[in-house]
Structure 1
Amino acid sequence: MKLLVIYTHPNHKSLSYSFLEKVIKGSKENPAIEELQVLDLYEEGFNPLLVFNEEKRRRDMHRDPALEKYRNQITWADKLVFVYPIWWGRPPAMLMGYIDQMFAANFAYRDKGGLLPEGLLKGKSVVCISSMMGPTHYPLFFLNNAHKILMKRAVFQYVGMKKVKFFEFGNMENPNGKHAEKLEKIYRYFQRIAS
């Protein structure tokens, strides 16, 4: 199994970075994971802004040479792992800018003229690891599960990735937020995951 980990947080002293370290540690100890790549969007200086004009058209985004490296990473990976905080009930704008550009027509999906497109990333699976200041069940009860619906239905399933696993950790700015226990859960998951 080949893992591509997309990390989205500007601070390497953050709890999100601690989750990233546990993903890496567990993955390196798992014989089912043959290769691992990490894409740190902030460190990479990824530009999340969409630009469309006479030279840069949206319909050509799937072959934009500036994004080829990132398309190759997605094509290479069997599993995509996203590590990010939840801000204002959704992932950071940096991550959404990455998704806007990478999940382009004719790379991630193909319009068939019907209600739903053909997902071109079939066979790949996804793990989302997110943390938030509020209570764990806040997105479910107060936001009608908007974060999971956005990521699973509107993004991943749209491009053909049906198997999506979520780890949504709340109360993460609380000193009694059970940080060590949650970090250990991620470490153990990646140490044992088989597909």
Structure 2
Amino acid sequence: MNMLAIYVHPNHQSLSHAFLREVLRGSEENENVTETRVLDLYEEGFDPVLVFNEKKRRRDMHADPQLSRHRELLLWADKIVFVYPIWWGRPPAMLMGFIDRMFASNFAYRDKGGMLPEGLLKGRSVVCISVMKGPTGYLQYWLGNAHRILMRKALFNYVGIQKVKFFEFGNMESPKGKHERKLDKIYRYFRAVAA
């Protein structure tokens, strides 16, 4: 299994980065994982701004030469792992901009005239690891599970990815946030996970 970890946080001293390290540590010890690559959106200076004009047309997004390496990575991966914080009840704008630019028609999906498109990223699985200051139940109960609905239904299912797992860790700025236990949970999951 080829695994792509997409890290979305501007600080390598953050708790999000600690979770990324546990993803990598666990996957290194997992015989099911052939290779793991990391795409660090902030470090590489990924431009999340979606632009359409007379030179850049929406229908040509799937072939944007600036994003060819990113498309190759997404196609290479059997499992895509997103590691990001929850800010204002949703993923960071950097991640949403990545999604806007990368999950384009004729790359991630193909319109076929009906209500739902043909998902072109079938056969892959996704894991979303997110951390937040507030309690974990905040997303589920206060925001009506908007985060999971956005990521699973509006994005991944739409492009053909049916297997989506979430780890949502709350109270992460509290000294009682059980950080070590949560980090160990991620390590153990990736040490054993299969496709």
Q: TM-score range by the shorter chain?
A: over 0.9
State how far apart, in whole Å, the 1-side matches of 2:19 and 2:194 are: 19
Q: Deviations over 1:56-85 (max 9, x none)?
A: 001000000000000000000001000000
The equivalent residue for 2:72 is 72
The equivalent residue for 1:171 is 171
State how far apart, in whole Å, the 2-side matches of 1:88 and 1:152 are: 19
State how far apart, in whole Å, the 1-side matches of 2:160 and 2:77 are: 14
1:17 aligns with 2:20: no
**Structure 2: unaligned runs, 5 residues or longer:** none
Runs of 4+ in 1 over 4 A off after TM superposition: none
The equivalent residue for 1:155 is 155
1:25-174 pair list within 5 angstroms: 25-174=25-174
Shift of 1:87: 0.4
Q: Deviations over 1:93-125 (max 9, x none)?
A: 000000111100000000011100000000000
Shift of 1:194: 1.6
Aligned residues: 195
Paired residue secondary structure (2:126): strand
State how far apart, in whole Å, the 1-side matches of 2:22 and 2:139 are: 24
Paired residue secondary structure (1:164): strand
Q: Give the letter aligned to residue 142 of structure 1.
A: W
Shift of 1:155: 0.4
Q: Give the letter aligned to residue 36 of structure 1.
A: T
**Structure 1: unaligned runs, 5 residues or longer:** none
Shift of 1:48: 0.1
State how far apart, in whole Å, the 1-side matches of 2:141 and 2:34 are: 39
Paired residue secondary structure (1:43): coil
State how far apart, in whole Å, the 2-side matches of 1:162 and 1:86 are: 22
Paired residue secondary structure (1:5): strand
Alpha carbon RMSD of aligned pairs, Å? 0.4
Residue identity (%):
69
Q: Give the letter aligned to residue 88 of structure 1.
A: W
Paired residue secondary structure (1:26): helix
TM-score by length of 1: 0.99
Paired residue secondary structure (1:81): strand
TM-score by length of 2: 0.99
State how far apart, in whole Å, the 1-side matches of 2:192 and 2:139 are: 28
